[in-house]
Structure 1
Amino acid sequence: MAGRTVAVVGGGASGVLATRELLRGGDRVALIEPDEPGGGLAYGTARPWHLLNSRAGAMSADPGDPGHFARWAGCSTAEFRPRAEYGRYLRDVFGTLSGVEVIQERATGLSAHGVALESGREVRADEVVVATGNPAAAQPAARPDHPDYIPDPWRPGVLDAIPSDVPVLLVGAGLTAIDVVLTLTADGRRDAPITAVSRRGQLPLAHTPLPAPPFAPPLDARHTLRDLVRIVRAEAEKAGDWRAVVDGLRPNIDQIWGSLTNEEQEQFLRHLARPWECHRHRMAPSVGATIDALREEGRFEVRAGGIRSMTAPPPGGLLVELEAGVQWFGAVVNCAGPGRLPAAAGSFAGSLLDAGHARVGPHGLGLDIDPDGRLIGADGKAREGLWLIGPLRRGAQWETTAVPEIRAQAHALIDRCK
C-alpha cells in the first residue's frame, strides 16, 4: 500500500516525526500546519531557560540512530538541552525531507476526499494522520473573565506583562508551573512571591546529573493495581534509587495500563496519577536546583488544596479564596495539565467528534483507538485510513506524550497496511 498520499494534520513534534517516517516508507505527504513546522507548543514557545526534561540521548528523531540529536547539538547523550534548541533541531530535520507539501492553513475537519481547510479548500488524501498534540489545558472552576487571570501562559508576552512587585498565583504545580516560575524570575528583579496551588501540592522531582541504568521490576498482567504498587515500592527500596525502577517500567507501561480493569484505572487516576507524574516526568538537575533555591529564599512556595472562588476588587488583581483563607494576587496564571475531552478537544479533534469520525477514549483523556492506532468512530468501528499519534492517544494508552513513544508510533506507520 506504499505510495499513497497521506495528510498529516499538525506540525509539532508528532507531525514532523510522522512525516519523516511516512516519507521513508514511500508515501507522499501533505503536512497541514498554520505555523512553521517543528515548533509546536512545547518547543516553539520555549525561552532560553526552559530545558528538556529528558536527556539528549532520548530525543533523536531517528529511531535507528539514538545519538542523532546529541551529535546535532554537539553534546553528550546525558545532557539536558534547551527546548528551543530542540525546536530548531526538529525544523532542521524537517528541512532535510523531500517529497512533502507544506500547507500553512488550519484544518477544520475531514472532507469527502481528504481534509477541509479554513479557506474552504480541500487537501485530497488517501489517508489522514491526526498529530495535533495535547488537549487544551484544564481551567479552574472559578475561572474569571478578567485581565489579571491568564488562561494560557504560552500566549506571547502575557508573562512579561506581569509587574515584578505583585504576588502571583499559579494554578497547578507541574512542569508548566516550573516553566512559568523560571520565566517570572529569569531577570532576578522579581520582589513579590510566587505561589503554586494544586490538589496535592506536589512538584515534579528532579533527575540525577548522571543516569542510572533502568531496572524493570518483575510484573505481569495478572497483577492487580494493589500488587503493582507493592512490588514497585519494594523494588525501588531495594534498588536504592527509585529513578532506575521508574525508568525500567517505561517500556511496559502501556501493557500494564491495558491489563488494569476500568475500575483500577479510575483508582489510579484518582490516587496515583499525580505521584506517578512527579516521579516519571522529572525536572532537569539544574532546574531542580533553581527551584529549590527559590523555595529556600521564600520567593516560591507550593500549597496543597484547591481554589474556592476568585473575585475582582475595584483596585485590580484578584482576591482568591484558598483553603487557608482569602489572599490578593496581582495575577493568576493557569498552569493546569490537559483537560478532559470532549470539552478540551482542539478544533480539529472536536470536528472529528462532532462528525462521528472519532469518539472520546477511556476516562476522557484522549480519543479512542484500536490496537494499531486507527481512530474509532461513534459507531464503535475503526476508521480505515484515519490514524492518531501522540498525546491524544492518552487513555487508550498511558505512555504517549514523550518523544520516544511518539517516535515509535510514527515508525509504526510505515507498516500500517502490511
Structure 2
Amino acid sequence: MSPHATVGSDEILIVGGGASAVFVTFALRDRAAVGGTPAPRITVVGREPEVGRGLAYGRADEHHRLNSPAGKMSLSATDDAAFLRYLDEVGWRDVDGSAAGAGTFVPRRVFGDYVASSFAALSGKPDSGVRFVQGEVVDVAEGEISGLIDGQSADGRRVDGPSAGGPSADGPSADGPSGDAGVTATLADGRTLSADRVVLALGNPAPGLVPSNAQRSIDDPWAPGALDRVTASDRILLIGTGLTMIDVATSLARRSPGIRLTATSRHLMLPAVHLTGPAAPGPGLGDDVSTLGEMATLFGRQLRDATATGSPWQAVLDGLRPQTQALWLRLSVADRERFLAHAARRWDVHRHRMAPAVWAELSALLEDGTLTLKSSGDVAGESFDVAINCTGPASVASAGWSPLVDRLLGRGTIVADPTGIGVDADPSGFVRSADGEPSTRILTIGAALKGALWETVAIGEVRQVAYRIADAVLAPASAEVAA
C-alpha cells in the first residue's frame, strides 16, 4: 500500500487562487462522487478577492484568446461540453456574431469568467464543504496543529469572518486534521489554517531579468499598469518571440496606432498556428521507447509518413499529448537535460500554438511594419527607449518571488528538481524534500511540476494532474502513473 494511504483526507487546503485551484477542487469532488465516498472539506486561500482567474485569465487583454479550443477547456474531465454550455448560457458571441463551437478560440477573460463563476456557485452552496479564505499564505509546515482553537487563529482572530472572505461552509476546523499530524498554513496577517493535506497551486513567477541596452526596462509586462508606460513614440524592443511577445505586441498595437516594435530572440522562432479544422491525432509513441534518441527517431518517422500522405504535422504532435508526461518520466536526467538544451524551444513553438485569429492579427502587424523580427546580433548595436521582457516565467523553484516558496526552500521542504525547471516531486504531485523523500501531505500542481512531468501548464495537463492528485489523495493505493 502507498505510504499516502495512512494519511487522512477529510480536510484539504489549496494555496493559490488561480484556475489550478479550481481544477483541483472540481477533481476532488468528481472523484469522491464516482467513488461513492464523502467529498473532503476544501478551503482555497488566495490573495485576490475572487478565485479562478489568476494571472493568465485575470490580467489578460480582452482581445487575448486562449491557445486551446473551447471544446477542450471544461473544468470536469467527465463533461467536455461544460464550457460550451456556459458560453451558450451567457450568450457569448464572437466578433463575427457566431456562437462558440468546440473549435472556437475564445478570449481568455471569458474563460476566467467561467472558472470564477463556477467556483463561486459551488462555494456559495451552504452544504458544499468548499470555501474561500482571502489572504496570502507565507508558510506551510507539517506537524502537530496548534493554530486553531474554536475557529480562531493563534492571535485570536476568526478565520471565517469578513477578513477571511466572508461566512461560508465549514473548512479546516478546531478539530484539526483527521490523521495524527497535519499541515499548518500561516497567513501573512498571522491567521493559521490546518488540514490533512495541502496543494500548492502557486502559479508562475515573473520572468527572469534579461539585460538590454534600452534606457528603461519592463521586467514583467503583466504587472498592473506596466504597459501604460509605453508610448507610440518610444523605440520598443520586445525580448522573446513566443506567445508572451505576441500578446504584448498585439496589445500595444491596439492601444497605440502607429507604434513600431522590434522583437528579438536567439532563434527567431514564432509559435506555430493551430489547424482551422479537426484532424485525427497521430498514433503516439509505443511503450517500448525509453530514451530520447529512440523517441526522436520514431517521432521523426511519423512526421515523414504524415508528410508523404498529406496529413498535417499538428496531428502527429497532438497524438503525443496524452502520453507526454509518461514519456518524460521514462527519460533519464541526462536525456531530459539534453532535450532542454537542444530541443525544448522547437518543441514549445510547435506544441503551444496560437489561434488562427491571433495569427491573422500578428501577420498583419508584420506585413505593415508595425512589428519587425531581428536576431539578437542584429539588435546589439541599436538603441531603444524601452525593453519589454517577453521571455516567459522563471522557475517556480527560484528564490525571491514568493515568501512562501522562500521559506519552503530555506527549510528544505521543497527543492528544485534535477533539471532546475521546477520543484522536485513524484508523478502524483507530492513534493520531495531535501532528503529526497516525497511528502505524504504536501502536493503541488502547474508550473511547479515542469521538471517532474514537463507538460503541466496547459489546461489539458492541469486538469489531468488535478485528477491524478484527487486519485492520490482520495484513493492513494490505486494512484499510479504509467511510465
Is TM more than 0.5 here? Answer: yes
Give the TM-score taking structure 2 as reference length.
0.79
- 1:311 paired residue number: none
1:336 partnered with 2:391: yes
> Which of 355, 376, 385 in structure 1 is aligned with 2:411?
355
1:62 partnered with 2:69: no
CA contact 1:137–1:344 (8 Å) conserved in 2: no
CA contact 1:135–1:366 (8 Å) conserved in 2: no
> Which of 103, 114, 125 in structure 1 is aligned with 2:195?
125
CA contact 1:202–1:302 (8 Å) conserved in 2: no
Once residues 399 and 211 of structure 2 are traced to their aligned partners in structure 1, the CA distance between those partners, rounded to angstroms, is: 13
- 1:403 paired residue number: 459
Quote how far apart the aligned CAs of 1:330 are.
Answer: 2.2
Please, which moves more after superposition, 387-396 or 260-269?
A: 260-269
- 1:279 paired residue number: 350
Quote how far apart the aligned CAs of 1:141 are.
Answer: 4.2
Show CA shifts across 1:350-394 (max 9, x none). 321112111111311111112322111111111111111111100
CA contact 2:427–2:453 (8 Å) conserved in 1: no
- 1:85 paired residue number: 110
Show CA shifts across 1:74-125 (max 9, x none). 2211100000000000011101213222111100011453101000111111
Give the TM-score taking structure 1 as reference length.
0.90
1:367 partnered with 2:423: yes
AA of the residue aligned to 2:108: R
> Which of 4, 24, 31 in structure 1 is aligned with 2:10?
4
Once residues 303 and 258 of structure 1 are traced to their aligned partners in structure 2, the CA distance between those partners, rounded to angstroms, is: 37
Please, which moves more after superposition, 349-358 or 50-59?
A: 349-358
Once residues 454 and 29 of structure 2 are traced to their aligned partners in structure 1, the CA distance between those partners, rounded to angstroms, is: 27
AA of the residue aligned to 2:299: V
Quote how far apart the aligned CAs of 1:404 are.
Answer: 1.4
> Which of 236, 249, 253 in structure 2 is aligned with 1:181?
249
Quote how far apart the aligned CAs of 1:347 are.
Answer: 3.0
Once residues 413 and 325 of structure 1 are traced to their aligned partners in structure 2, the CA distance between those partners, rounded to angstroms, is: 47
1:385 partnered with 2:441: yes
- 2:120 paired residue number: 95
Q: Which runs of 5 or more structure 2 residues have no equivalent in the other structure?
A: 1-6, 33-38, 89-99, 123-127, 146-183, 476-483
1:399 aligned counterpart, secondary structure: coil
Once residues 229 and 68 of structure 1 are traced to their aligned partners in structure 2, the CA distance between those partners, rounded to angstroms, is: 36
| Structure 1 pair 324–162 and aligned structure 2 pair: CA distance change class (3 A) | closer
| Structure 1 pair 361–143 and aligned structure 2 pair: CA distance change class (3 A) | farther
| Structure 1 pair 261–345 and aligned structure 2 pair: CA distance change class (3 A) | farther
Show CA shifts across 1:26-75 (max 9, x none). 11111110102111010000112100000001100011001111121122
| Structure 1 pair 350–79 and aligned structure 2 pair: CA distance change class (3 A) | same
Please, which moves more after superposition, 29-38 or 95-104?
A: 95-104
2:28 aligned counterpart, secondary structure: helix
Once residues 15 and 415 of structure 1 are traced to their aligned partners in structure 2, the CA distance between those partners, rounded to angstroms, is: 16
1:204 aligned counterpart, secondary structure: coil
| Structure 1 pair 31–223 and aligned structure 2 pair: CA distance change class (3 A) | closer
Once residues 211 and 64 of structure 1 are traced to their aligned partners in structure 2, the CA distance between those partners, rounded to angstroms, is: 21
AA of the residue aligned to 2:20: S
Once residues 328 and 139 of structure 1 are traced to their aligned partners in structure 2, the CA distance between those partners, rounded to angstroms, is: 19
Show CA shifts across 1:11-36 (max 9, x none). 11111111223344311111110102
1:106 partnered with 2:136: yes
1:37 partnered with 2:104: no
Larger Rg: 2
For residues 205-284 of structure 1, the aligned pairs below 5 Å read 205-239=272-306, 240-284=311-355
Show CA shifts across 1:277-306 (max 9, x none). 00000000010111112111121122233x
Once residues 43 and 415 of structure 2 are traced to their aligned partners in structure 1, the CA distance between those partners, rounded to angstroms, is: 25
Q: Which runs of 5 or more structure 1 residues have no equivalent in the other structure?
A: 306-321
CA contact 2:204–2:394 (8 Å) conserved in 1: no
> Which of 457, 469, 474 in structure 2 is aligned with 1:413?
469
1:327 aligned counterpart, secondary structure: coil
| Number of corresponding residues | 399
Please, which moves more after superposition, 80-89 or 213-222?
A: 213-222
2:115 aligned counterpart, secondary structure: helix
1:96 aligned counterpart, secondary structure: helix
CA contact 2:252–2:259 (8 Å) conserved in 1: no
- 1:310 paired residue number: none
- 2:219 paired residue number: 151
